[in-house]
Structure 1
Amino acid sequence: MKLPKARKRGESYRIELMFNGKRISATRDTEKECEQWAALKLLELKTGQAQEEKGIKPALPFKQLCEKYYIERGSKLKSNPMIKNKLDNIDRILGDLATKSIYEFKPADIVRWRNKRILEVQSSTVLREFAMFSSIFSYAQKELFLIESNVWKLVTKPDKGKARNQRITPEDQAAILARSKWDNINPPQNMQNYVGWSMLFALETAMRQGEILAMRRKDLRDGFIHLPMTKNGETRDVPLSKEAKRLLSLIPAENDILVPVKVKTFKRTWVRMRDQAELSHINFHDTRHEAITRMVRDRRLPVEILAKITGHKTIGVLINTYYNPDAQDLVAAFNEKES
């Protein structure tokens, strides 16, 4: 096949190839560099075609598949920040598997990775990573038709691990709020104030951190706040308690975004405040556990109403994971009818 001539485009040169009805092009600084690229590319394409005709598939490193998946699919998902973070650190997370061709993956490779990774991070983290990598292989199977089956589905998933049941006591709440340097009376002024405000608001509403940071003034309604987009991709209306309304009244009227703090800044500030209070075992998401438990204890909400408020589709997850009563809560509920 005769190589085409490169064409000058401004200060550079551009060359185009046609191979099996597909147009491939490149731009280089000189005409000679274009010709060199074209010769190598054509050789690569012919070699790849010959290998495929013999049943030999060219190597496709897993990290390269991950990049394609993120561009075409992952970046459009609501969970894209988490996916991008994992893929940005894929060499550290996967080790040698990151550069291994997807055609050479064996169940034993995944088992070794799973067992090693469980020693490094919590089992829940490994489970999320396992699910994401399996989804990427399914994408290669069902969308790109590169593989016939998903090898990840042949391997037992990591254990889910014990459900987290961390409560936030009034003393914990006071200690973290003190680190926010906010008096809970005047409007919040800085990011520390807003993080403290958000903790109290979360304890009243059971809203997630991302939902609180996404709140806009236009979403406030009479007695509730409308969430146009939640974690599960659906809308939700969250009723506001008297205390939640009071907290909202403290937000400056000019705030369109009610909590004007970026996600990364919020997380860093929360961790710093929590650690300064010597409560490093508490996560912001624990406010959701605590709020749900209080709603059951103090408001006696039936589970079907509670699920609407919190956005849980699965009642079992709501009750077994997020409702965390202590022994005294159970004793009080058990004896309530007798008093």
Structure 2
Amino acid sequence: MKIPVPRKRGETYTITISYQSKRYYCTRDTAKECEQWAALKLLELKAQTQIENGELKPKFMFRDLNNKYYQNVGQWNESKSSRAWIKGQYNNFENKFGALAQKSIYDITPKDLTNWRNKRLKEVGENTVLKEISHYSAIFSYAQKELFVLDENPWRQISKPKKPKARSRRIHPSEIELILKTLNYNLGNEPVLPQHYVAWAFLFALETAMRRGEILLMEKKDIFEGYVHLPKTKNGDPRIVPLSEEAKELLKLIKHEGRRIIPQSENAFRLMWEKRKIAVGLNDLHFHDTRHEAITRMVRVRKLPVEVLAKITGHKKIDVLVNTYYNPNADDLVAAFNG
């Protein structure tokens, strides 16, 4: 289409173009600026028509899709821990994907994603990569099923890393003593200092199989006679956690006036735990290992049937509970068999 000639009006120039029976105009300081605007506007209008007719895909970079998903879906996730993880993915998106972030979602191929997967596996573990693949696949599914801008999801066409064998780490009594010692805490004492509360939480987790986040969010109003009521847990459902006599004694040691049992932020707690355990050479010990230890003890000592145990621990999948968190040693199995 021929660009019309701009017309001078006073100190400025104006130009008018027609496209599909509609008129568009602008005013600029020079005739050349008017011509440039008209050329770009016509290209834009033609491209929009081609998009609407299905002849052309709209410009939609991976970065744009990531932003849209986070604004409309990710930041509203019901789980606080999931929201925090998704926000971390959102904030680190550019560093994680580099040039791929600037690529159109229509041009991203399974080969691109396979190359990204292989590079990522050199930086982090298999579980992290599996979780990230699941997250970014959900973003492309959102584009496909909610925005209707994609016909297929390339993330579903790549091979996932093999899931590593689940941890079966047990905690030896000598390791418990070592953790208490490095945190300067004596069993039976009222926790006062930040490191004391970390030690207290460690002991409480061994008695209840509660997650670190659940213990940190636990409030005094959640404590009842014989049990703790967790109004919101990792899977989004409330849960009742029965209290052993040892757990009840630990709760009696909490005497501060605050609302939460542990008067400490999650980050401060985590840093204290990591620093102190490394200082005594327990690098391979995770706080979450207390959950493995506690569940195995519950089976061994209390002979709890698996359906009751699942209610206490909050596992919706029995196979995960049995195959991942119940970690008996040879003596435990022999005792259970003869018992």
Separation in structure 1 between the aligned mates of residue 46 and residue 86 of structure 2, nearest angstrom: 34
Alignment partner of 1:84 is 2:87? yes
Q: Please report the TM-score for the alignment, with normalisation by the length of structure 1.
A: 0.83
Match of 1:103, SS state, is coil
1:284 corresponds in structure 2 to: 287
Q: Please report the TM-score for the alignment, with normalisation by the length of structure 2.
A: 0.83
- Given residue 326 of structure 1, which amino acid in structure 2 is its aligned partner? N
In structure 2, which of residues 241, 251, 259 is the aligned counterpart of residue 248 of structure 1? 251
Residues 298 and 59 (structure 1), Cα distance of their counterparts in 2 relative to 1, 3 Å cut: same
Q: RMSD of the TM alignment (CA)?
A: 2.3
Alignment partner of 1:103 is 2:116? no
In structure 1, which of residues 191, 194, 207 is the aligned counterpart of residue 197 of structure 2? 194
Match of 2:88, SS state, is helix
2:321 corresponds in structure 1 to: 318
Task: Quote the offset at 1:307 in angstroms.
Answer: 0.3
Alignment partner of 1:207 is 2:206? no
- Given residue 74 of structure 2, which amino acid in structure 1 is its aligned partner? G
Match of 2:240, SS state, is strand
2:119 corresponds in structure 1 to: 116
Task: Quote the offset at 1:81 in angstroms.
Answer: 0.6
Task: Quote the offset at 1:253 in angstroms.
Answer: 4.5
Residues 245 and 55 (structure 1), Cα distance of their counterparts in 2 relative to 1, 3 Å cut: same
Residues 191 and 71 (structure 1), Cα distance of their counterparts in 2 relative to 1, 3 Å cut: farther
Residues 55 and 259 (structure 1), Cα distance of their counterparts in 2 relative to 1, 3 Å cut: same
CA-to-aligned-CA distance 1:146-183 (integer Å, 9 cap, x gap): 21221111222221111111111111111112122222
Match of 1:168, SS state, is coil
1:262 corresponds in structure 2 to: 265
Task: Quote the offset at 1:328 in angstroms.
Answer: 2.0
Which shows bigger deviation, 158-167 or 110-119? 110-119
2:139 corresponds in structure 1 to: 136
Separation in structure 2 between the aligned mates of residue 219 and residue 269 of structure 1, nearest angstrom: 25
Alignment partner of 1:330 is 2:333? yes
Task: Quote the offset at 1:55 in angstroms.
Answer: 2.4
1:64 corresponds in structure 2 to: 64
Separation in structure 1 between the aligned mates of residue 189 and residue 153 of structure 2, nearest angstrom: 56
Separation in structure 1 between the aligned mates of residue 54 and residue 335 of structure 2, nearest angstrom: 73
Runs of 4+ in 1 over 6 A off after TM superposition: none
Separation in structure 2 between the aligned mates of residue 162 and residue 95 of structure 1, nearest angstrom: 31
- Given residue 56 of structure 1, which amino acid in structure 2 is its aligned partner? L
Which shows bigger deviation, 284-293 or 260-269? 260-269
Alignment partner of 1:216 is 2:219? yes
Which shows bigger deviation, 75-84 or 173-182? 173-182
Given that residues 51 and 58 in structure 1 are in contact (C-alpha distance below 8 angstroms), is that contact kept between their aligned partners in structure 2?
no
Please list every run of 5 or more consecutive structure 1 residues that lacks an aligned counterpart in the other structure: 1-31
Please list every run of 5 or more consecutive structure 2 residues that lacks an aligned counterpart in the other structure: 1-28
Separation in structure 2 between the aligned mates of residue 99 and residue 171 of structure 1, nearest angstrom: 53
Query: Paired residues, what number?
Result: 301
Q: How does 1:147-226 map to 2 (within 5 A)?
A: 147-226=150-229
Separation in structure 2 between the aligned mates of residue 303 and residue 45 of structure 1, nearest angstrom: 63
- Given residue 180 of structure 2, which amino acid in structure 1 is its aligned partner? L
Match of 1:238, SS state, is strand
2:10 corresponds in structure 1 to: none
Task: Quote the offset at 1:234 in angstroms.
Answer: 0.5
Task: Quote the offset at 1:71 in angstroms.
Answer: 1.7
Residues 145 and 243 (structure 1), Cα distance of their counterparts in 2 relative to 1, 3 Å cut: same
Task: Quote the offset at 1:50 in angstroms.
Answer: 4.4
Task: Quote the offset at 1:250 in angstroms.
Answer: 0.9
Separation in structure 2 between the aligned mates of residue 45 and residue 168 of structure 1, nearest angstrom: 65
- Given residue 58 of structure 1, which amino acid in structure 2 is its aligned partner? P
Match of 1:183, SS state, is coil
- Given residue 318 of structure 1, which amino acid in structure 2 is its aligned partner? L
Q: What is the aligned-residue identity percentage?
A: 50
Q: Which structure has the bigger radius of gyration? A: 2
1:294 corresponds in structure 2 to: 297
